[in-house]
Amino acid sequence: MGKILVLAEHRQGVLRDISYEMMAIAPKLAEEMGAELETLLIGSGMDEMAKELSGYGAKVNVIDDPVFENFNAEKYQKALSALIDNMKPAVLIAPHTAQGVDFMPSLAVEKKLPLVAEAIDLTYEDSTLKATRTMYSGKVNATVAFKPADTCLVTIREGAVEAPEPAAAGDVEKIESPLKEDLSYRQFVEYIEAEVGDVDITQSEILVAVGRGLKEDKNLPDIEELAMAIKADIAGSRAATDAGWIPHDRQVGTSGKTVKPKLYLALGISGAFQHVAGMKGAKTVVAVNKDPEAPIFNVADYAIVDDMFKVVPALKEKLKEMKG
């Protein structure tokens, strides 16, 4: 029944990861629905990308027109609106990215169609399309059902699933741009590449943070080794960044960054209120400090009262043992 249309996203001539990730969810849904799966690419000079996307076996519809040289939400919405009328897809899947969120909600309003934003999975049960979304910072998954509609709109969260390997080659069909009028409310001005910065510790899953207890920077390589072994990024307290051991953009605390890793290993950090305020979102806190009265232990899930220079080698040894 019907058609599932997946809108791929690209930037600077390259398909974005989310375009592949959606191909982990859409084929499964197509099978459950007994629907035909097709993808959609909108841009200018799209031959290479269309070929790449066709590797997933689904037919690729390409709108290749200079008018789409740069992303413009207004133009995308107009084009998609016309395509929904022409192709009548049962489901239109788009990325939940800065681009996707710029046109999907207004498209839903324009066409009076239901939209589920930032889904991580889609299923078809009892003749109903259902989407899974996370709630409460990922603690709970909610399943929501679409009300019956000619076309259901969904945006998919980035990085929610792993992209599958390409399978059989599919067809590529160029379709004419449905955009007839000249739209000029929004103009593309300039593409600015984000500066290639250091690690963004606010996004780190595991952090090893050092404090004044590090004593001197020659002790840092040992800690870096430990961090590497557990795939962690290094951060520090204000004392550690002041001393120049850790770069300033890796300072945790009220005057630095607020972090929320799954694991926060605090080494030689006393845990001043201003530091703790920056890491209280960490799911699990392991603290190592010589001073049993150190306030860091008030927020630690696991407390090791000992010299960090004894604990770190022991941890490294244990890790080697577990891996070996």
Partner 1 sequence: MSIENQTFTEKYDLLGCIQCGRCTGGCPVTVRAELNVRHFVDQAYDEGKLDELARLAEIWDCTACHTCAVRCPKGLKPLEVLIGLRSMIVESGKVEPTVRDALQSVLLEGNPWEKARAARTDWMEGLDVKVAEEGQEVENLIFTCCTIAYDPRVQVVAKNMVKLLNQAGIDYAFLPEDESCCGSEVFTIGEEGLFEMLVEDNTEYLNNFNAGRIVTLSPHCYTTYKTHFPDIRIPLYHYTQLLDELVQEGSLSWKGELQKKIVYHDPCYLGKQGGIYDEPRRLLKSIPGVELLEFDRRRERSLCCEGGGGKMWIESQSTEERLADTRIKDARELGADIVAAACPFCVLTLEDAMKGLGYEEEMRVAEITELLGELIEA
Q: Is 215 helix (H, G, I), strand (E, B) or coil?
A: coil
Which of 72-80, 133-141, 249-257, 313-321 is the region at the interface with partner 1 (rule: CB under 8 A)? 249-257
Tell me how far apart the alpha carbons of residues 301 and 229 are, in angstroms, rounded to a whole number.
21
**DSSP one-letter string for 25-74:** HHHHHHHHHT-EEEEEEEESS-HHHHHHHGGGSSEEEEEE-GGGSS--HH
- The span from the CA of 201 to the CA of 204, in Å, is 5
Least gap, CB of 261 to partner 1 (angstroms) = 16
List 128, 255, 318, 320, residue binding partner 1 (CB under 8 A): 255
**Residues near partner 1 (CB under 8 A), total:** 21
Q: Which is nearer to partner 1, 170 or 278 (CB)?
A: 278
Tokens of 11: 């930037």
> Which residues 6+ apart lie within 8 Å of 178 measured at CB?
63, 78, 79, 82, 83, 86
| Three-point CA angle 52, 57, 58, nearest 5° | 95
Q: Which of 166, 254, 290, 299 binds partner 1 (CB under 8 A)?
A: 254
What string marks each residue from 201 to 220 as x (binds partner 1 by CB under 8 A) or -?
-----------x--------
Q: Is residue 242 close enough to count as binding partner 1 by CB under 8 A?
A: yes
Select from 244, 321, 322, 323 the one that contacts partner 1 (CB under 8 A): 244
Q: How far apart are CA 318 and CA 309, in angstroms?
A: 15
The correct pick among 256, 282, 296, 308 for binding partner 1 (CB under 8 A) is 256
Q: How far is the CB of 250 from partner 1 (least distance, A)?
A: 12
Closest CB to partner 1 among residues 59, 212:
212
* Residue 199 makes contact with partner 1 by CB under 8 A: no
Residue for token digits 């109903």? 128
Cβ atoms of residues 273 and 217 within 8 Å: no
67 binds partner 1, rule: CB under 8 A: no
Among 63, 257, 269, 288, which residue sits at the site for partner 1 (rule: CB under 8 A)?
257
Binding site for partner 1 (CB under 8 A): 212, 238-239, 242-244, 248, 251, 254-258, 270, 272-274, 277-278, 295, 298
